[in-house]
Structure 1
Amino acid sequence: MSAVIAAAGLVCPAGLGLAESAAGARARLSALREIDWCDRRLERFIVGRVPDPGLPALASALVDAPLQAREARMLRLAHAALVDVYAGLPADLPAPPLLLGLPEHHTTLPIDSERFLKLLANQAGACFDPALSIAAPRGRASGLMALSQAVTRIAAGEAGLILVGGLDSLVDLYVLAALDRAGRIRGETVSDGFSPAEGAAFLLVASEAEARRHRLPVLARIAATGSGFEPGHLYADEPYLGDGLAGVVSACLDNAGLAAPLQTVYCSFNGERYWAREFGVARIRNAAAFADEARMEHPAECFGDLGAAHGVALAALACHGLAGGYRPGPALVYASSDKGDRAAVIFERSS
């Protein structure tokens, strides 16, 4: 049973919806700005922040709830992205389960995954079934790992519709301070670093039969998914060998059985050299599967690192590009988390 992407939504510093975000990324417009918060050298952080006036207000039932500032921000980001997903879809669409990727970098109080799902249901309404939903704090790769689970469930006939998401805000004082102490935030004295950002992205995954039943659009077809682990990750003592991402890409290619080489790659580069080296290993080990002039897309240069939202955001942008005809397929989308998780998906244009 084949799985397709029936809808996608994205809210990030480049736009308050997928179409706007895709246009900003396509035009290479920078959405990175200085904020009032300063690093340990008293230089202002440069981050990607979603304009506050464009986000829904916190639900009245949650105004007096004991929320971390980061939690409240993430709830509003997610609400806006979910509105983007469901815009134009049938009003009688059944509420699907949600598989949600959450941050791997935490404040002094980690986000409780089960509690957050209940909060999100209160914030965004009945657009997903919280009783059947799962959230995991696995960082950039978590959303694509969830997508792989969704495809497996759909293929097994366990569900016809599944909502997959990723959500994060690295624009948090504690997270910024921790990343600054580690020397990872790009600035006047740090060139091998990245620009922290925030965002939310969601994909509505459907079986082809369910898409026809509800007369849903098809943005792209999922040819293959995969996930794995890199022992030599950023926070590990083991040496980096590049086996994690390279193995995930190899497995995806084997399962996809593509008739044409990969034409586009959406990667989770964020400006740190580690990630470019990682992809170099994966590309060399799978060189025959890539077109000679395969296009590389790394939109973090426009809107920063979206943390746990990054993988699904890349997938949403890829689907928008394939459906709009301005990006050639097949397209490889991958994301790598700081603490070892790796995940990838191959999309093809719908026929």
Structure 2
Amino acid sequence: MTSRRVLYLAGSGMITAIGGSTEMVWAAAGAQVSRYATSGYFTGNRKLIIQALVPDQALPDLPRCLETYPSLSLREKRMLAMSRVAATQALQAYGKDEPIPVLFAGPESYPGINSQVSKGFSRALFTELKHLPIAAAQSRSVNIGRPAAIEAIKLAFHYAYDIGHPSVLVGGADSYQLSPLLKLLDGQKRLSAQNLDPHSGSDSFAPGEAAGYLWLTSDPAQALQHGGRRVVLSEPGFGHEVGHWFSEKPHRGEGLDQAFKQAIAGGFSGKTIKNIYSSANGERFWGKELGVAMTRSHHNFNDPKVHHPAEFYGDIGAATGAVLIGLASQTALHLPGDDTHLVYGSADQSYRGAICLRSEPVAA
């Protein structure tokens, strides 16, 4: 290892369209369960948009959130209800009184529309998590969409090793139930819609919603264990793609290549990566950059499995990073031969993030 700074996974929680816990989502994705369905939103030509939404009945706190926060949007209220579920799961085994900072991964800011969460959302989030030992004053948010949780983990390393917070809760939530955002994406002809089969190779994606939370710690004694193994995360890597969805410059895949190289150098140099967990959502746009990044770091890969679970639970935006890490960790713990993973997230705009994780035996 080129760096001894690592974090351990101590707990995880998530809720997506295909399941209400990390274990359920991992099993459903492995069984290729899809929850794509027509929604109540329309494209500009009056076709129902295909989405992958969390059922209301899976969000017991949603009715209260709808009533308690009248100034928040429907999207934000659903993000709150989903966050309460996932964060509670992630800290289920946290038995300490010491408050834990939250590093929240939030939605991307899109050109010309108000797509980020409001200032009132953060206050409401801490209200919804008040049953947990949360250090609100030390908490922060990163609002860059799919790679946001990976950026938050970069900050978690700083908290754990430079500031002295041995435990950090990294979480992300997002929902595409936002009409201006759907209108923008529909204008780009990117959305799956009625009479357009999302699995037919068509160049479109199904908007989803989810929350994912990770309790990370620098204390190996706190690590989640299964079968005598635990999950270790190395320091992440980042890059910027000049040829993104809102740029006229050519898409060369150089941003993700840079993120891969930095992440691998942070702890996996010389190791063979057996699994890639990708934020790709079904659009052909994302295939090129993955091909470039894998080719340029080919010596670190040996015919890896590429997982893109958005094909089952839809594009989950800012929840992507935490959910993918949670799923990769399940694979690392339960399938010991698949013990080396690279997880990455690519924003619609320039930002790219990647992180490596592995399972290792716990010394007796």
Q: Same fold (TM over 0.5)?
A: yes
Deviation per residue, 1:133-165 (Å, 9 max, x gap): 111220101111111221233233532011111
Name the residue aligned to 2:190.
Answer: 184
Cα shift at 1:61: 10
**CA contact 2:38–2:49 (8 Å) conserved in 1:** yes
Distance between the aligned counterparts of 2:338 and 2:254, measured in 1?
28
Verify: 1:83 aligned to 2:100, yes or no.
no
After TM superposition, list the pairs within 5 Å mapping 1:1-351 onto structure 2.
Answer: 1-58=5-62, 59=64, 63-87=68-92, 89-105=93-109, 109-112=114-117, 114-127=119-132, 128-156=134-162, 158-187=164-193, 188=195, 191-208=202-219, 211-212=220-221, 215-218=222-225, 219-258=230-269, 260-291=271-302, 293-325=303-335, 328-351=338-361
Q: 1:48 to 1:154 in 2, by over 3 A?
A: same
Structure 1 residue 235, shift from structure 2 partner = 0.8
* Paired residue secondary structure (2:172): strand
Separation of aligned partners in 1, 2:336 and 2:192:
31
The sequence identity of aligned pairs, in percent, is 27
Shift of 1:261: 0.4
Q: Separation in 2 of the partners of 1:30 and 1:300?
A: 9
- String of CA shifts for 1:253-297, please: whole Å, max 9, x gaps: 122144530001101110111111110000111111101x31111
Residues 343/68 of structure 1: CA separation in 2 closer, same or farther (3 Å cut): same
Preserved contact between residue 146 and residue 318 of structure 2 (Cα < 8 Å): yes
**Contact 1:321–1:327 under 8 Å retained in 2:** no
Is contact 2:240–2:351 with CA below 8 Å preserved after alignment?
A: yes
CA distance in 2, matches of 1:157, 1:37: 45
Gaps of 5+ in 2: none
Asked if the contact 1:9–1:316 (Cα under 8 Å) also holds between the matched residues in 2, the reply is: yes
CA distance in 1, matches of 2:257, 2:31: 30
Number of equivalenced pairs: 345
Aligned-pair CA distance for 1:105: 4.8
Q: 1:209-231: CA deviations, max 9, x gaps?
A: xx42xx45244101331122111
Residues 155 and 91 of structure 1, relative CA distance in 2, 3 Å threshold: closer
Inter-partner Cα distance in structure 2 for 1:238 and 1:160: 42
The more displaced of 127-136 and 272-281 is 127-136
TM-score, normalised to structure 1, is 0.92
Take 1:225 and 1:196, find their aligned partners in 2: how far apart are those partners?
26
8 Å contact 1:332–1:344 — kept in the other structure? yes
Task: Please tell me whether the aligned partners of residues 345 and 354 of structure 2 are also in contact (alpha carbons under 8 angstroms).
Answer: yes
TM-score by length of 2: 0.89
Q: Does the aligned pair in 2 maintain the 1:12–1:21 contact within 8 Å?
A: yes
